[in-house]
Amino acid sequence: MSKESYDVIVIGSGPGGYVCAIRCAQLGLKTACVEKRDTLGGTCLNVGCIPSKALLQASEKYEEAEKHLQAFGVKTGNVSLDLKTMMKHKDDVVGSNTQGIEYLFKKNKIDWLKGEGTIEAKGKVKVGKTTYEAKHIVIATGSDVVSLPNIEIDEKQIVSSTGALELTKVPKKLAVIGGGVIGLEMGCVWSRLGAEVTVIEFLDRILPGMDGEISKEAQKILKKQGLNFKLKTKVLEAKTSKSGVKLKLEAAAGGDAETLDVDTVLVAIGRKAFTDKLGLEKVGVKTDERGRVEVDHKFKTNVDGIYAIGDVIAGPMLAHKAEDEGVILAEMLDGQSGHIDYNLIPGVVYTWPEVANVGKTEEQLKEEGVAYKVGKFPFSANGRARAMNATDGFVKIIADAKTDKVLGGHIIGPEAGTLISEIVTVMEFGGASEDIARICHAHPTLEEAIKEAALAVDKRPLHI
Ligand code: FAD
Ligand code: NAI
């Protein structure tokens, strides 16, 4: 095989692409990964999951020191914010993670082809002036920010999530357009650091797609923490001036327009598949009505030898979904078989308390006409949560009315993102709520709330 010839070329080094490349290399395939950014790791490591979690963690500590430690008998004196150091913490975390991928590429002998990759023809990828050959091409080019037609993102006064991770001072007033995952996570960061945050959501609820009861509870708790919500509201226009941004709002059902004056606006209304300059039209790779690359259950596009994974195809735009697709595709290219149960991909919102879900919501089951039972248990009745002063929220388990098989798990509460994995595991094994109820859970742990919710499915919780 010549220097310019590979078994697999992956375009994009996000969690889908870099994981796929590592698994291909582990399986003995000669692998290269094309990345146009200066660092590896894609949206997730550079401007997504990792920096946002670094700021969420840091702002949580700030708020804890400012407001919550006193109740534990810890006197802190005057707490003040050093935003520069907080941002350095975030940048350091991003740096160590992206360099980590570079190390993994070297360790696995994966070539990083630096630059923008264009598919020239079947089996040919051009990067810079060189055309490389590959038996298999994997498109893992991810997603990009969506903007509103009448609102231009300048990443200064009107920012996307990328700009919201880089603000150099805390805005006095921040408007967040979109009450989804990014809006709530970044809204919480800046609210904890002192901004007055107003979330403007087009629908009648935040976190659409999550179980209705959970999203209501999330709104109640976040409101208590100081976030303002304007639901069923449209943003008609945004006028920037030296003094800030004037938003014109209108109730979604019509009615009088009102204005909102803020310093900064975060636009977080979803993301779109990114395929710019990839050359898809030239080679005839089909995309759907939302610009996502169309694939079959083996991640094959309509063109032989070209595959796609991650945010650029349909499904939840989540890093772990992209990673799992990357591994399975690599194993399929090696002649193995693989399968993902898309119903069992957990979703987590890293607010405090966290929100986590897996499987079906009550709303979905009603629509599907499936008979179900529900068990709930509040963290206010959990000893460990009381010891942590973190009693907001509850665990909700939904099981089939006849078979007791677990159909969904929904948690709002401390460490919900970690706790959900127990329910995911039980569901992967086709388990019932009775199984969770019979498993010995250590005491005193937050996990006991899951056991109690499972007991509650059968109307026999012990501690409430
Ligand atoms: P990406 O990570 O988008 O990577 C694609 C890469 O391809 C990019 O680096 C891009 O530069 C490169 N590329 C594109 N075109 C070309 C080309 N032609 N040539 C060369 N390179 C190219 N998900 C979670 O699961 N948990 C979270 O906590 C979470 N937090 C998030 C927070 C924010 C603020 C954002 C924006 C997203 C978050 N996500 C989170 C979503 C997650 O980042 C994405 O689902 C994930 O990154 C998708 O991975 P991917 O590999 O498909 O694509
Ligand atoms: P989202 O789809 O989660 O939320 C967008 C919200 O904006 C929705 O509530 C929607 O109804 C609302 N909206 C749409 N148009 C609007 C308009 N014109 N005016 C007002 N509201 C409007 O998308 P978001 O938050 O931008 O995140 C993008 C993707 O990134 C998500 O798919 C998510 O999976 C991923 N992500 C995941 C995280 C995690 O797993 N913790 C964290 C951050 C992002």
Nearest protein Cα to ligand 1, atom 12: 12
Q: How far, in Å, CA of 340 to CA of 457, rounded? A: 28
pLDDT value of position 1 = 67
**Nearest atom in ligand 1 to 271's CA:** 36
**Nearest atom in ligand 1 to 144's CA:** 3
Centre of ligand 1 from the C-alpha of residue 264, in Å? 24
- Tell me the CA distances in angstroms from 316 to 49, 51, 293, 350, 367, one per residue in order: 14, 20, 14, 16, 20
Domain spanning 158-269: which CATH class is it, in words? alpha beta
Please give the structure tokens belonging to residue 67: 């407001």
Strand, helix or coil at 225?
Answer: coil
Task: Indicate the residue type of 1.
Answer: M
- Among this protein's residues, is 443 annotated catalytic? yes
Ligand nearest to C-alpha 162: 1
Compute CA 445 distance to the chain's CA centroid, rounded to the nearest angstrom: 26
DSSP annotation of 292 reads P
pLDDT value of position 256 = 80
Strand, helix or coil at 131?
Answer: strand
Residue pLDDT tens, the chain, 464 long: 677 899 999 999 999 999 999 999 999 999 999 999 999 999 999 999 999 999 999 999 999 999 999 999 999 999 999 999 999 999 999 999 999 999 999 999 999 999 999 999 999 999 999 999 999 999 999 999 999 988 999 999 999 999 999 999 999 999 999 999 999 999 999 999 999 999 999 999 999 999 999 999 999 999 999 999 999 999 999 999 999 999 999 987 777 889 999 999 999 999 999 999 999 999 999 999 999 999 999 999 999 999 999 999 999 999 999 999 999 999 999 999 999 999 999 999 999 999 999 999 999 999 999 999 999 999 999 999 999 999 999 999 999 999 999 999 999 999 999 999 999 999 999 999 999 999 999 999 999 999 999 999 999 999 99
Nearest protein Cα to ligand 2, atom 44: 182
pLDDT value of position 30 = 98
**Domain layout of the chain by residue ranges:** 5-144+272-340, 158-269, 344-457
Instruction: Please name the fold of domain 5-144+272-340.
Output: FAD/NAD(P)-binding domain (3.50.50)
pLDDT value of position 349 = 98
CB 102 within 8 A of CB 22: no
pLDDT value of position 397 = 98
427-456: per-residue pLDDT in tens? 999 999 999 999 999 999 999 999 999 999
CB 45 within 8 A of CB 67: no
Strand, helix or coil at 37?
Answer: coil
CB 56 within 8 A of CB 185: yes
Ligand nearest to C-alpha 34: 1
Ligand nearest to C-alpha 36: 1
- Tell me the CA distances in angstroms from 351 to 64, 86, 223, 292, one per residue in order: 14, 18, 12, 29
Burial label for 320, CB within 10 Å (0-12, 13-18, 19+), is middle
Quote the pTM value.
Answer: 0.98
392-410: per-residue pLDDT in tens? 999 999 999 999 999 999 9
Query: Considering only CA atoms, which of 73, 55, 323 is closest in space to residue 195?
Result: 55
Instruction: Please name the fold of domain 344-457.
Output: Enolase-like; domain 1 (3.30.390)
Nearest protein Cα to ligand 2, atom 30: 317
Do domains 5-144+272-340 and 344-457 share one topology? The answer is: no
pLDDT value of position 252 = 76
Strand, helix or coil at 89?
Answer: helix
Q: Could you report how far apart the first and last alpha carbons of the chain are, in Å?
A: 67
Nearest protein Cα to ligand 2, atom 32: 317
Q: Tell which one of 43, 143, 327 to mutate to probe ligand 1, the residue whose CB is within 8 A of the most ligand atoms.
A: 43
Beta strands in 379-461 (DSSP E): 394-400, 406-413
Query: Considering only CA atoms, which of 244, 260, 276 is closest in space to residue 141?
Result: 276
Catalytic residue among 68, 136, 441, 443: 443
Q: Which residue shows structure tokens 């941002």?
A: 87
Q: Which residue shows structure tokens 């805390």?
A: 170
**Nearest atom in ligand 2 to 203's CA:** 11
